[in-house]
Amino acid sequence: MSELRRDPITGRWIVLTPEHTRRPSDFIPAPEPPPSSAVCPFCEGHESMAGIELLSWRAEGTSANGPGWQVRVIPNREPILRVEAAHALPGQQVFQTLEGLGAHEVIIETPRHDETLSTMTREKLFCVLWAWRERMRDLKRDGRLRQFVVVKNHGALAGARQQHAHSQLIAMPLVPNVIRHEQASAERYHERTGACVFCDVIQYEQEANRRVIATDDLAISLCPFAPRMPFETWVLPRAHAAAFEDADNTLLTAITDRLQDALKRIDATLLVPAFNVILHTASIGDERSASYHWHLELLPRLQAVGGVELATGTWVNAVPPEEAADALRAAAAV
Amino acid sequence: MSELRRDPITGRWIVLTPEHTRRPSDFIPAPEPPPSSAVCPFCEGHESMAGIELLSWRAEGTSANGPGWQVRVIPNREPILRVEAAHALPGQQVFQTLEGLGAHEVIIETPRHDETLSTMTREKLFCVLWAWRERMRDLKRDGRLRQFVVVKNHGALAGARQQHAHSQLIAMPLVPNVIRHEQASAERYHERTGACVFCDVIQYEQEANRRVIATDDLAISLCPFAPRMPFETWVLPRAHAAAFEDADNTLLTAITDRLQDALKRIDATLLVPAFNVILHTASIGDERSASYHWHLELLPRLQAVGGVELATGTWVNAVPPEEAADALRAAAAV
């Protein structure tokens, strides 16, 4: 069973997963085996290797756990958190722990080993966002969960261990540090101004038009004012919306279009780099928040995370977001 | 000139360094050239390539900016912050910027290209810590600075761009997020208990003796209770001490011994991994803090930083610190 531990000094939580046994020798780099779709558990036809499906988008007349799907959600085989855990509230002692309660699911984004979010059709990419939303709506029935996060790691530099396109949905029993700080900062802004800082930023960016990549009636993509990494890009709903799982199909379609457009522009500009996609959404129970606004963060992984970033949280970035937005707007999104 | 930018949503600062011109093509991986000490600007004899020295520990009778040194401090050729900047206070508008005021120095830790912190003698390692301290004492005369941090990147996975052993001293005009959160958490603990959380942790760890690697009268090395990364190790003064730059030579010698011992054990256990060393010390002006306690963090870099860590700040770690401490204690520190 995994365990959440709170650092007594910083208040930072970590997840300890000792069941993923790792000996020191497991960390010593070995040459990578050549990729082979023959042994990929995520490919169509290998459903029994991947695991029992929790959800799928599949062709009529096909059966669960067999071929014929477009998107397939399964439990993570090495979950960092599990629904079976008993929930223990943290105490006030120096060393706090919490059983690893939560959920950790894998969204297999395509049946094909050679397809990615930027090469698949928009209808297929919509299915991926649909699967995130439907799983969240289902998991919310468990009243012990506090926070959803979706992450996608593409490429070894971004932390991916499986080459086949997939994302991870994690449901946590607490609001983790980065999201808590983001929410608290947005809440302070709201108290001071009565407005949502995301809405204000979107309005400012549209008017200034220095960092916007593309926009339509419902969704916008832009390079944020203070990006952690070169070519960092965000995709947001234009109208105020705290919780991703409350998005309707019309909004999800608009977000799909902006996300795919941004991914294609990043691929064209940086020659298909490793990247992360992060979904930040309101904590469970805060779906009507006036201060928080869900969004996607796209982080091209072009450089190692160094000591300055780990020591200070201050990212050093050589590419102004205004120049990144210029380059991305000029790139062909085909 | 670099620019500090505050993200309006999270409150997170970044440093934008557009003078380190990077085009998209600069991020496309190229095969690494073979290492060659002939062109290394940090090697003895190449002093004029590296830059004018701010400080050195050198043999009697040798001259500044020539051979004969053991440790040499120079300005960073691509500084992220500079003392020449005019200091502008942040306003209250949505988008805050600050000129890149500060200092960014490189400590060349050895004249030899093939020597590292774990292979050099303890007398030489002491000189490295001495150089950090002396430069801080000098830079403190600039009343505009608020925070020192020392970082060392060893190996490409840890963010190093130069193979030759070196560390970086950065002086910032503000207290960056990670350090501010650590200080605030320690301050809340102090308000609640009247004690320093670091001192309490040290006392608990010594009594429990589950995660201690080694200790002497003045300094201790241990694996922290909630480590971000497998084999994360901290080195701390045992007695309360907020500011690194106030350490005397006796304490620096004890810290040198614990640091070198920990590095040798990590090298033996993980076969000389990439790693970061981070020095966290009190903000300038808070040297007498009762709640903060300076320390070194050693972070072996065995895995890419993935989307979960970036999205949540919750690190996922498969190696319990109790097992890491067992393995490090069992390793030969020779």
pLDDT in tens, B256-279: 999 999 999 999 999 999 999 999
> Looking at the partner chain, which of B16, B157, B308 has a beta carbon nearest the beta carbon of A317?
B16
Checking if the pLDDT of B174 tops 70, the result is: yes
Return residues 80-109 of B near A (CB < 8 Å): 80, 94-95
Which residues does chain B have within 8 Å of residue A307's beta carbon, measured at their own beta carbons? 151-153, 158-159, 168, 276-278, 299
Residues B203-229 have pLDDT tens digits of: 999 999 999 999 999 999 999 999 999
**Which pLDDT score, from 0 to 100, does residue A29 have?**
61
Residues B180-203 have pLDDT tens digits of: 999 999 999 999 999 999 999 999
Checking if the pLDDT of B142 tops 60, the result is: yes
**Which pLDDT score, from 0 to 100, does residue B99 have?**
82
Checking if the pLDDT of B7 tops 70, the result is: yes
Query: How many Å apart are CA B11 and CA B177, to the nearest integer?
Result: 8
Checking if the pLDDT of B305 tops 70, the result is: yes
Contacts of residue B140, defined as CB under 8 A and 6 or more positions apart, other chains included, come to B245, B284
The pLDDT-based confidence of B87 (bands split at 50, 70, 90) is: low
The pLDDT-based confidence of B88 (bands split at 50, 70, 90) is: low
Query: How many Å apart are CA A231 and CA A331, to the nearest integer?
Result: 12
pLDDT in tens, chain A (334 residues): 778 888 887 777 888 887 776 677 776 665 555 555 568 999 999 999 999 999 999 999 999 999 999 999 999 988 888 887 655 555 556 788 888 889 999 999 999 999 999 999 999 999 999 999 999 999 999 998 999 999 999 999 999 989 999 999 999 999 998 999 999 999 999 999 999 999 999 999 999 999 999 999 999 999 999 999 999 999 999 999 999 999 999 999 999 999 999 999 999 999 999 999 999 999 999 999 999 999 999 999 998 999 999 999 999 998 999 999 999 999 976 6
Q: What angle do CA B19, B20, B21 make, to 5 degrees?
A: 85
Beta bridge partners of A296: A235, A279
Checking if the pLDDT of B78 tops 90, the result is: no
How does the average pLDDT of chain B come out, rounded? 90
Q: Give the residue-averaged pLDDT of B118-133.
A: 97
The pLDDT-based confidence of B158 (bands split at 50, 70, 90) is: very high
Radius of gyration of chain A (CA): 20
**Which pLDDT score, from 0 to 100, does residue A6 have?**
81
Checking if the pLDDT of B103 tops 60, the result is: yes
A320 touching B, CB under 8 A? yes
**Which pLDDT score, from 0 to 100, does residue A205 have?**
93
**Which pLDDT score, from 0 to 100, does residue A86 have?**
59
A34 touching B, CB under 8 A? no
For A49, other C-beta atoms within 10 Å of its C-beta total: 12
Which residues does chain B have within 8 Å of residue A205's beta carbon, measured at their own beta carbons? none
In chain A, which residue's Cα lies nearest the Cα of B94? A201
Q: For chain B, how many residues are written? A: 334
A96-99: strand order across its sheet? A96-99, A3-6, A13-16, B315-317
DSSP 3-state percent helix, strand, coil across chain B (nearest 5) = 30, 20, 45
B76 touching A, CB under 8 A? no
Checking if the pLDDT of B22 tops 60, the result is: yes
Q: Give the residue-averaged pLDDT of B35-47.
A: 82
Report the candidate in B263, B156, B327 with the shortest Cα–Cα distance to residue A22.
Answer: B327
Which residues does chain A have within 8 Å of residue B271's beta carbon, measured at their own beta carbons? 28
Element (H, E) at B220: strand B219-222
Q: What is the 3-state secondary structure (H, E, C) of B104-153?
A: EEEEECCCCCCCCCCCCCHHHHHHHHHHHHHHHHHHCCCCCCCEEEEEEE
B59 vs A78, which has greater pLDDT? B59
Q: How far is CA A254 from CA A204, A218, A219, A237, A276, in A?
A: 20, 6, 6, 8, 20
Q: What percent of chain B has pLDDT over 70?
A: 92
Q: Nearest-CA distance from B45 to chain A in Å? A: 28
> Cβ–Cβ of A7/B170 closer than 8 Å?
no
Return residues 140-169 of A near B (CB < 8 Å): 149, 151-153, 156-160, 168
Q: How far is CA B248 from CA A45, A87, A130, B133, B150, in A?
A: 67, 48, 61, 10, 18
Amino acid at B61: G
Locus of tokens 């045992």: B238
Q: What angle do CA B249, B253, B255 make, to 5 degrees?
A: 115
Which residues does chain B have within 8 Å of residue A297's beta carbon, measured at their own beta carbons? 311
**Which pLDDT score, from 0 to 100, does residue B34 have?**
54
> Looking at the partner chain, which of A22, A158, A226 has a beta carbon nearest the beta carbon of B230?
A22
Q: How far is CA B54 from CA A160, B57, B72, B78, in A?
A: 43, 11, 8, 16
A27 vs B60, which has greater pLDDT? B60
